[in-house]
C-alpha cells in the first residue's frame, strides 16, 4: 500500500472512531439524563385515584407514568442578586412557579402555572435551620425557609409535589428578576396584550386594558411582576406571564434558528442570575430532544381552575381537585390499553 493512501485510511479511521465515540458519549449522556429526570418517580395520590401494581386507576381507566415525559420546575424569585444568601426568612419569595413538561416522543411541551397563593403544606425552619414542623401556607412562602438558594429551591420542590398530589418534580431552575431583564434585553422588543390597567414604573406610563404594548428589559420585568392588592391580582399577573412566555419563546426560537450560537449567549447571560440542579446529562437530553421543536408554538398552557379568596387578610387559592387531577393525568401519564375479552370458541 502506498504511503499517502495508508495515511489517508488511518486518518479516516481515526475520524470515524472519534465520531463513534462522540455519538456514544451523547447517547450515554442522553440515557443518564433521562434516568435523572425520572429518579424518585411517584404516582398521584388523592381521593379520585386508586393505585395498583400497573400504575393507577382513574375514572374506569388504567394509567402509568409516561417514561417519555421529562419535567422541571421554573422558579422566579421576587428579588435581585440571587447569589446573596441572606439566611432563612431573607431570601425572598417564589412569585412565579411554572412546571414545564416535555414529551420527547410526541414533542408536546406543557406548562402548568402554579399560583403563588396556592394553600399547601410547607416545611418550616427556624432562623438557625432547625426543622419546626409543617404548616398550611401560600406556596410562595416555602422559598423563605432555606439558608441558601439550593435549600430554598428544594423546599419549594417539596411543596409543589404536595400541590400536585404527590407527583415528584426533582429538577429546578431558579432565576431572579435580573435574569429576566438580561434575557429580555438580549432577545429584544416583543409585543404583548394588556389584560388590565397597569402602571409601568420603568417608563412612567399607564397602559389600558385591551391595548397591545412593546416591552423589553425593565418594562418586561414590570409587565410580569406588577400586581394590585385586588384578591384576583395574581390571576391577572399569571395571565400576563403566560403572554410574555409565548411571545418571548417565539422570538427566541427565531433567533436561535437563525444563529444557533445564541444558545451560548443566552446561557452566559443567565448564569450569574440562575441556580439549578439540572446536570450536563439532563441538559444534553433536553437539548437533543428540544432542538427539533418550535418551542413558541409547541407550548400548551394548562391553567388550574379553583377558588381564590381572602384568608387572614391575604389572597389564597385552592384548586379544583378533579380538574387538577385531570391535568396531571393528561400531562404525566399514558393510558394502559385494556385487554379485549376473549370470545368463547364454538
Report which DSSP code applies to 169: -
How far apart (Å, rounded) are the C-alpha atoms in residues 186 and 217?
8
Helix or strand (DSSP H, E) at 246: helix 233-258
Quote the domain boundaries for residue 286.
Answer: 38-335
User: Looking at the domain assignment, is residue 2 inside a domain?
Assistant: no
User: Looking at the domain assignment, is residue 66 inside a domain?
Assistant: yes
How far apart (Å, rounded) are the C-alpha atoms in residues 292 and 300?
17
Query: Using an 8 Å Cβ cutoff, are 129 and 320 in contact?
Result: no
Q: Quick one: CA dihedral 41, 42, 44, 50, positive or negative? A: positive
User: Looking at the domain assignment, is residue 346 inside a domain?
Assistant: no
Mean pLDDT of 217-226: 88
Task: Give CA angle at 158 (179, 90), nearest 5°.
Answer: 50
Taking alpha carbons only, the member of 97, 91, 56, 51 closest to residue 75 is 97
Q: CB atoms < 10 A from the CB of 40, how many?
A: 8
User: Looking at the domain assignment, is residue 342 inside a domain?
Assistant: no
Pick from 24-28, 41-45, 215-219, 314-318: least confident = 24-28
Mean pLDDT of 181-186: 86
User: Quick one: pLDDT at residue 285?
Assistant: 64
User: Quick one: pLDDT at residue 85?
Assistant: 67
Strand-pair partners of 111: 100, 301
At 180, is the pLDDT very low, low, confident or very high (cuts 50, 70, 90)? confident
Residues in the chain: 346
What's the CATH number where 282 sits? 3.40.630.190
- What is the average pLDDT score of the chain? 80
Provide the grid cell at 120.
399547601
Mean pLDDT of 128-157: 90
Flag whether pLDDT at 137 surpasses 90.
yes
User: Looking at the domain assignment, is residue 7 inside a domain?
Assistant: no
Flag whether pLDDT at 149 surpasses 70.
yes
User: Looking at the domain assignment, is residue 18 inside a domain?
Assistant: no
Residue 190, SS3?
Answer: strand
User: Looking at the domain assignment, is residue 231 inside a domain?
Assistant: yes
Q: Quick one: CA dihedral 52, 56, 58, 62, positive or negative? A: negative
- Per the structure, how many domains does the chain have? 1
CA 10 to the chain's CA centroid:
47
User: Looking at the domain assignment, is residue 94 inside a domain?
Assistant: yes
Helix or strand (DSSP H, E) at 308: strand 306-311
Mean pLDDT of 327-338: 92
Q: Name the residue with higher pLDDT: 176 or 267.
A: 176
Amino acid at each position: 500500500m502506498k504511503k499517502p493512501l495508508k495515511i489517508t485510511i488511518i486518518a479516516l479511521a481515526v475520524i470515524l472512531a472519534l465520531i463513534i465515540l462522540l455519538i456514544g458519549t451523547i447517547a450515554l449522556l442522553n440515557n443518564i439524563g433521562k434516568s435523572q429526570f425520572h429518579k424518585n418517580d411517584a404516582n398521584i395520590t388523592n381521593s379520585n385515584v386508586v393505585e395498583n401494581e400497573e400504575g393507577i386507576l382513574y375514572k374506569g381507566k388504567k394509567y402509568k407514568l409516561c417514561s417519555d415525559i421529562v419535567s422541571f420546575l421554573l422558579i422566579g424569585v421576587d428579588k435581585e442578586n440571587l447569589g446573596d444568601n441572606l439566611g432563612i426568612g431573607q431570601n425572598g419569595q417564589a412569585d412565579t412557579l411554572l412546571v414545564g413538561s416535555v414529551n420527547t416522543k410526541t414533542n408536546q411541551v406543557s406548562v402548568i402555572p402554579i399560583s403563588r397563593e396556592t394553600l399547601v403544606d410547607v416545611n418550616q425552619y427556624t432562623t438557625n435551620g432547625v426543622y419546626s414542623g409543617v404548616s398550611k401556607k401560600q406556596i410562595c412562602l416555602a422559598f423563605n425557609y432555606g439558608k441558601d438558594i439550593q435549600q430554598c429551591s428544594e423546599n419549594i420542590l417539596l411543596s409543589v409535589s404536595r400541590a400536585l398530589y404527590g407527583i415528584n418534580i426533582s429538577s429546578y431552575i431558579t432565576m431572579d428578576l435580573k435574569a429576566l431583564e438580561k434575557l429580555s434585553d438580549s432577545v429584544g422588543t416583543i409585543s404583548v396584550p394588556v389584560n388590565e390597567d397597569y402602571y409601568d414604573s420603568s417608563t412612567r406610563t399607564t397602559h389600558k386594558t385591551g391595548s397591545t404594548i412593546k416591552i423589553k428589559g425593565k418594562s418586561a420585568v414590570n409587565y410580569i411582576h406588577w400586581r394590585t392588592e385586588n384578591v384576583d391580582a395574581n390571576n391577572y399577573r399569571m395571565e400576563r406571564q403566560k403572554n410574555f412566555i409565548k411571545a418571548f419563546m417565539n422570538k427566541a426560537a427565531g433567533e436561535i434558528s437563525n444563529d444557533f450560537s445564541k444558545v451560548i449567549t443566552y446561557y452566559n447571560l443567565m448564569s450569574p442570575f440562575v441556580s439549578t440542579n439540572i446536570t450536563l446529562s439532563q441538559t444534553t437530553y433536553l437539548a437533543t430532544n428540544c432542538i427539533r421543536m418550535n418551542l413558541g408554538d409547541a407550548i400548551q398552557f394548562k391553567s388550574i381552575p379553583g377558588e381564590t379568596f381572602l384568608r387572614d387578610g391575604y389572597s389564597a387559592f385552592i384548586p379544583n381537585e378533579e380538574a387538577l387531577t385531570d391535568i396531571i393525568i393528561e400531562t404525566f401519564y399514558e393510558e394502559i390499553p385494556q385487554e379485549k375479552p376473549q370470545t368463547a370458541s364454538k
